[in-house]
Chains A and B, each alone.
Chain A
Amino acid sequence: MSDIKLARIKNAEPLSLDSLPILNTREFQDAVIASVAKGARLAALFGLPARIGKAVSASMDIVTIIAVLIRGDKGVTEVAGTEVKDSYPALTGHIVQAHLFEREIAEQWGVRPEGHPWLKPIRFHKGCRPGKDVWARPENEEISPGVTDFFRVEGEEVHEVAVGPVHAGIIEPGHFRFQCHGERVFHLEISLGYQHRGVENALINGPDKRSIHYIETLAGDTTAGHALAYCQAVEALCGHKISARAEEIRAIALELERCANHTGDLGALAGDVGFLPTASYCGALRGDFLNMTALICGNRFGRNLIRPGGVIFDLDGIKTDELMARLEKTFAGVKGAAGLLWETQSVIARFEDTGRLSKKMCRQLGLVGVAARACGVPLDIRSELPAGAYTKNRPAVCTFKTGDVYARAYIRWLEIERSFHFIKDRAENLAEDGAKAGMPVNPARNNSLVVSCVEGWRGEICHVAITGDDGRFVRYKVVDPSFHNWMGLQMALRNQQISDFPLCNKSFNLSYCGHDL
């Protein structure tokens, strides 16, 4: 059986590298394709310039490619690796969701996925293996983001609209190319990379004191999500079990982050169609949620709260009462403001049938999070691979079937509602076993691999850490949900009005820096 070749591990469970199956390229490809055919999705596919045997031995000639798949039905992740030199047959032809991962591998390690249909750089940086470049760019040439070939539609009445990288308003940089026929969009191509900072490389040789700060700023609006994924990974490697109380406070922070961002998104969606009441109220209510996080840890975005070993700030009785009072009040506000959206015909007319994605397309592209659930695909790490406080309490997965802007908006409201009940339930029944964090005392296990997944507010966050002989990271792979979902936005725009682009974009609300790393 082909899936026996893949090692199965639980979320945040360490695996010794000698148990990691290293297959030949053909077996690897068959195993991954078979697993996807059984309903798995690709959570990560990345390379590292090393051979993996009983230990990791760095090598500039061999790149080991590791695939991480999530089998939601079995509650496990499946991992396997293969060694390649300068090229290998691309998976993309068989599994569409591998397309961006393979472009990333090509860019980072100069390994050509043969037969990749659209092999272009994604972040526009120099490769990490000197002398190896898939596009044969000269060594001394500067690489500028967005300077590349774009998909073009030719014809007399077809025109191209280029937007960005500098946008109106306070948003991150990204370049969008629309191929239009009048007001109708034939195709949209998005080119990112302007925010590339080299976080993955900076994390090598961790965990150290700086690592958590890189992690907390991977995507500023997903601080709790990424910090939680990182801490789960480090604690797993150190064999450290944190207190139930700390787990619950972490989950509360994660859900508050979800509520704040979903509320902000509902307001922004209303703003984009010019519906002022919800736009104004949700802007303020988002701030109220952020202030609740600040009540716990002193920072509106939840920084300096989650640390390996636990949480830095405890929730005492007074704070809990205050939190509950504010939560009730803010939730009532969101209920009213969101309710106005669903009651207003002119808003529904804009939301419905705009930016529709089919369930089939969603599965093919491997979309995650809100965008996937809006297409009726029930993906949610909190119930598929629960860890921490979610092992005992799994919020029900919200799905909707239409896959349009309305669905993505409505899912956000449903999730706010469920997160509210979750936070309320957790805060009122906090375990009494202390929450304070101390760095785990044990050193990290050497020669191990751990996959840590968290359902952030945008969707599934996947961190993969691999340690070397000294127990330090030789590779730390971060996959932000935005990485999966940008392609979803491009496909959602096909045959839409170009004037509906801002609305579709807001309904996905993806992170630029989370993608660019």
Chain B
Amino acid sequence: MSSFIFSFAALLFSPFLLSIINRTKAVLGGRKGAPLLQPYYDIIKLIQKGAVYSCTTTWVFKAGPAVGLAATIICVFIVPFGAHPAPFAFSGDFVLLAYLLGLSRFFTVSAALDTGSSFEGMGASREAAFSALAEPALFLALAAVARKTGELSLSGIFHAISAQGWGASSLPIALLTTTALLIIFLAENARIPVDDPNTHLELTMIHEVMVLDHGGMDLAFIQYGASLKLWVLGAILMGCLAPGRPDTSWLGGAAFMGGMCALSVLTGVIESSMARLRLVRVPQLLSGAGGLAALALILVMR
């Protein structure tokens, strides 16, 4: 039962991570920043608005946000809350998780192509190209930790990691895996250095440009889905990092929540301290992440 409560807490709490990132950026930029509940206000505002549909679009355009959100919500129930097992934990659940994210992406890309706009087509092509590089990196990283712990479900893996810890001998593996996962986390969530969530320049966008034509409820779904994705990938990264050895009590849950907040602050700091990469360099960064993860896997299999 408690595992469901934790998952619902994740559903409720995830937009707050965006607030933390934005507040961190504001403070480091010498600004006051938006209210902490702004992402919630935005979602509520958008839900109350009507959507406008171009007559060139078909059902695919409308299905994009709904399928995208649905797939990401299922992911929240698969990803464990730190050492707490997820409500749905089974062998190979991380394969389902990766492909649910893939399904969500497939529909977002299809909806973007459905508009027939050259901007959205460009965004779709970039998203497809970059995710093709990010996905193997994610699998390799998860394969490394699965092999290390001998578990085949995310809940099992993270429980094992927090129970045993990484230990001094496997520190390189931990370092390689978490670095790869951090890069994937930043890339998949359209953060700097890969994408700039704040830009208004269509020609430079990756993720944002695909959703330019969505409005109202659809955009609310997309924004909420994005915050859930931030949670899911953040939770995988934090699960691998395993700060301390949290038990399965409420205190462990609180510690995990603190870890997620710290990750958001770190994201804000990264965004405040460096510029975006040139778009042609992004594949190099993502293949780099894949390389690190592959190295981790080799070290584990050794």
Contact = CB atoms under 8 A, between A and B. Distances in A.
Nearest to B193: A346
A168 B122 contact: no
Give me the 8 closest cross-chain CB pairs, A-B, nearest first.
A280-B29, A273-B275, A274-B276, A274-B196, A502-B201, A275-B275, A346-B275, A168-B200
B44 interface: no
B204 interface: yes
Contacts, number: 90
A272 B201 contact: yes
B28 A276 contact: yes
Interface stretch (B165-173, B179-187, B237-245, B277-285): B277-285
B203 A275 contact: no
B57 interface: no
23 contacts: A161-B203, A168-B200, A182-B125, A183-B122, A183-B126, A183-B279, A274-B275, A275-B274, A275-B275, A276-B272, A277-B273, A344-B275, A346-B193, A350-B275, A350-B276, A350-B277, A497-B278, A497-B280, A499-B203, A500-B278, A502-B201, A502-B204, A503-B204
B25 A276 contact: yes
A280 B30 CA distance: 7
A346 B274 CA distance: 6
A168 B201 CA distance: 7
Contacts of A332: none
B280 A183 contact: yes
Interface in A215-274: 270, 272-274
A274 B271 contact: yes
Contacts of A168: 200-202
A160 B279 contact: no
B302 interface: no
B87 to A, nearest CB: 37
Interface of B: 25, 28-31, 118-119, 121-122, 125-126, 192-193, 196, 198-204, 271-281
A307 to B, nearest CB: 38
A274 B118 contact: no
Contacts of A270: 275
Contacts of A276: 25, 28-29, 271-272
B275 A497 contact: no
Contacts of B281: 349
Contact of B272 (A159, A182, A277, A502): A277
A499 B276 CA distance: 11
B118 A159 contact: yes
Given A159-B118, A168-B201, A277 B29 contact: yes
A400 interface: no
A347 interface: yes
Contacts of B193: 274, 346
Which of A274, A277, A350: most chain B CB closer than 10 A?
Answer: A274
B209 to A, nearest CB: 10
Given A161-B119, A182-B125, A498-B203, 8 more contacts: A162-B118, A274-B192, A274-B196, A279-B29, A344-B273, A346-B275, A349-B275, A499-B204
A501 interface: yes
A163 interface: yes
A169 interface: yes
Nearest to B199: A274
A284 B29 CA distance: 11
A422 interface: no
Contacts of B28: 276-277
A346 B203 contact: no
B274 A499 contact: no
B202 A163 contact: yes
Contact of B203 (A163, A284, A347): A163
A501 B202 CA distance: 10
A169 B30 CA distance: 22
Interface string A385-419: 00000000000000000000000000000000000
A214 interface: no
A88 to B, nearest CB: 40
Nearest to B271: A276
Interface string A130-161: 00000000000000000000000000000111
A163 B202 CA distance: 9
Interface string A310-335: 00000000000000000000000000
